[in-house]
Amino acid sequence: MLGVLEDCGHEVLVANPRKLELLSKSDSKSDRTDAELLARVARADAKLLGPIRHRSAQAQADRAVLRARDALVRSRTMLVNHVRGSVKPFGVRISGCSTRSFSKRATELPDEIRDRVAPVLQVLETINAQVRAYDERIEAMLERYPSTQLLRQVAGVGSLTALAFVLTLDDPHRFHRSRRVGSYLGLRPRRSQSGAEDPQLHITRAGDPVLRRLLVHSAHYILGPFGPDTDLRRKGLALAARGGKNAKKRAVVAVARKLAVLLHHLWITGEVYEPLHNTLRTEPA
């Protein structure tokens, strides 16, 4: 329907219901009054509607693969935590390992305990196989999105994160400035300023939660012991060194936000990534 209207020369606006509470909280709500109210708001200022851009059908279908994989990974984590918690009352602890190899590590449990969690371990094996199948499918999908190669220049950004970024944004030119991407993905702090009060609040968590988690995971790698020396790492470590409550968490979120801005910039410009671009520019010759 949207395509038909656009082909006829009409400007189509899809309102974001979260941005317009005049509809949901109206005491005289009907299709007629809603349509009139939307038309009046659009005539006054279309930005008040918080217009939504629909993704292409192909991007939406490919995102379903990423979301299915994410659901499996989260289920696997929940089951691993369940098994660890189940064996603790017996005085048994399973040594640290990745979730992929957890089911094999759990086979070392005593027989009387392993029998109680055997069905869960079998499910974990099945999930591992399905996740591997999705990983192979995602690698094949990268051929349809060559722009992901630009994003994978950044250390800590793998195939999954790059593909999720491209599929979520779909059209990079919808953002006039790269800085807007961080806000779009819910990585900027909320704000509730009133007079002299300006409290520090949590991030908005708007946008796609799968991509936001992937960016946070990438930020953990950048700030971790194996992260290479980059502008992002230096900025994050400087923020963490300030101390204060939740300094490390704030640094991770800040790096994730800056990473989103960087990825959008690379996508738009097609530039070769320089890990220490800002540092070399500010240091004296």
pLDDT, one tens digit per residue, over 220-255 is: 999 999 999 999 999 999 999 987 778 999 999 999
Given pLDDT bands bounded at 50, 70 and 90, which one contains residue 200? confident
Per-residue pLDDT at 266 exceeds 90? yes
Q: Can you tell me the distance from the alpha carbon of 275 to that of 229, in angstroms, rounded to the nearest whole number?
A: 7
pLDDT tens for each residue of 272-282 = 999 998 887 77
CA atoms within 13 Å, Cβ hemisphere of 103: 16
11 compared with 99, residue with greater pLDDT: 99
Which residue, 123, 130, 127, 93, is CA-closest to 108?
Answer: 93
Burial 231-266 (b: 16+ CB within 10 A, else e): bbbebbeebbeeeeeeeeebbbbbbbbbbbbbbbbb
- What's the average model confidence in pLDDT over 137-141? 96
CA distance 65 to 191: 34
> In the chain, where are the structural domains located?
2-49, 57-144, 148-282
The burial of 102, by beta-carbon neighbours within 10 Å (0-12 exposed, 13-18 middle, 19 or more buried), is given as: buried
* pLDDT digit string, tens, across residues 20-43: 787 777 888 888 888 888 888 888
- pLDDT at position 1 is 64
Per-residue pLDDT at 17 exceeds 80: no
Mean pLDDT of the 66-85 span:
95
If one counts every other C-beta atom within 10 angstroms of the C-beta of residue 3, the result is 9
* 261 pLDDT more than 90: yes
What is the overall mean pLDDT for the chain? 90
Q: For the segment 97-120, what is each residue's pLDDT rounded down to a tens digit?
A: 888 889 888 877 888 888 889 999
10 Å CB burial of residue 18 (0-12, 13-18, 19+) is: exposed
Q: Which residue has the higher pLDDT, 56 or 7?
A: 56
CB 266 within 8 A of CB 258: no
| Helix axis angle, 231-241 to 247-269, nearest 10° | 160
Q: Give CA torsion, residues 190, 193, 199, 202, to 10 deg.
A: -10
pLDDT surpassing 90 at residue 13:
no
Q: What's the rounded Cα separation, in Å, for the pair 203 and 187?
A: 6
Mean pLDDT throughout 165-174?
94
CA distances 103 to 87, 94, 260, Å, are 14, 10, 34
How far apart CA 152 and CA 160 sit, in angstroms, is 10
At residue 33, the pLDDT reads 87
